[in-house]
């Protein structure tokens, strides 16, 4: 009887720290689960911070968008963020180089649209010339593509998935082109905006 009790106590005390150490998920951002069937080598080493990095030439930035980064929002996220909860801010006139990666068998794409257009089922043209992956309405699976554009008009935009109905379901991050910002900044969820270096 005594040994059974000891056994139970040991089992309980062993289980408790494991529960206590499980980190609480950040609001609106599910770190834990990942989507099945991903070609992981396509985005090995890429983090949410890669959403916005300085470009190789002055006045440019590098944006890396990974669709289905994890299971948040049923995979309809970029680097884990959806519904505009990651905010990329660049000074007006910034040259933006985008690398889009979709490691999943479900089609996704990327297109820069006016922020209110995230409520539309589909958008035919990007806001800035060239600011979309090829055939954004049909999307792309298990692959990567690149595009560049100049953010030459201040405003509130979205880097959205162009596959019909995905943006309206939250598959977008925010892109602010600012007439007053001096440097690019990235805000991830509830964290404060950080200067991109």
- Residues forming contacts to Cu ion in the complex (CB under 5 A) are 108, 161, 163, 166, 171
Strands (E) located in 41-154? 53-54, 60-66, 86-91, 94-102, 111-114, 143-151
Taking the complex as a whole, how short is the minimal distance between the CB of residue 78 and Cu ion, in angstroms? Answer: 9
Backbone angles phi, psi at 40, to 5 degrees: -65, -30
Q: Is 17 helix (H, G, I), strand (E, B) or coil?
A: helix
Distance set, CA 7 to CA 20, 129, 136 (Å): 21, 68, 59
CA pair distance 139, 109, nearest whole angstrom? 5
| Residue 186 to residue 39: CA distance in whole angstroms | 27
Residues 154/160/166/170 CA torsion (nearest 10 deg): -70
Q: Which is nearer to Cu ion, 29 or 166 (CB)?
A: 166
Bridge partners of 195, per DSSP, are 185
- Residue closer to Cu ion by CB (options 29, 108) is 108
Distance of closest approach, residue 165 Cβ to Cu ion, in angstroms: 9
Q: What is the DSSP letter of 72?
A: G
Q: Residue 164 or residue 189: which is nearer to Cu ion going by CB?
A: 164
Q: How far is the CB of 3 from Cu ion (least distance, A)?
A: 57
- Compute the least distance from the CB of residue 28 to Cu ion, in Å: 17
**Shortest Å distance, C-beta 166 to Cu ion:** 3
Q: How far is the CB of 15 from Cu ion (least distance, A)?
A: 39
Nearest to Cu ion by Cβ — which residue?
161
Closer residue to Cu ion, CB minimum distance, 85 or 108:
108
**Cβ burial, residue 57 (10 Å; 0-12/13-18/19+):** exposed
Which residue lies nearer to Cu ion by CB, 101 or 161? 161
Cβ distance to Cu ion smaller for residue 67 or 196? 67
């Amino acid at each position: 009887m005594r040994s059974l009790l000891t056994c139970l106590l040991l089992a309980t005390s062993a289980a408790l720290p494991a529960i206590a150490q499980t980190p609480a998920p950040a609001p609106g951002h599910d770190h834990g689960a990942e989507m099945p069937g991903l070609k992981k080598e396509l985005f090995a080493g890429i983090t949410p911070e890669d959403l916005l990095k300085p470009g190789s030439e002055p006045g440019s930035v590098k944006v890396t968008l990974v669709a289905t980064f994890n299971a948040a929002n049923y995979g309809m996220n970029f680097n884990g963020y959806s519904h505009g909860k990651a905010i990329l801010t660049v000074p007006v006139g910034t040259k933006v180089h985008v690398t889009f990666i979709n490691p999943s068998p479900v089609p996704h794409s990327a297109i820069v649209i006016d922020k209110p257009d995230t409520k539309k089922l589909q958008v035919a043209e990007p806001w800035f010339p060239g600011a979309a992956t090829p055939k954004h309405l049909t999307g792309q699976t298990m692959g990567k593509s690149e595009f560049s554009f100049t953010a030459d008009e201040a405003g509130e935009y979205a880097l959205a998935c162009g596959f019909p109905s995905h943006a309206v379901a939250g598959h977008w991050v925010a892109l602010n082109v600012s007439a007053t910002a001096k440097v690019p900044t990235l805000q991830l969820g509830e964290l404060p905006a950080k200067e991109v270096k």
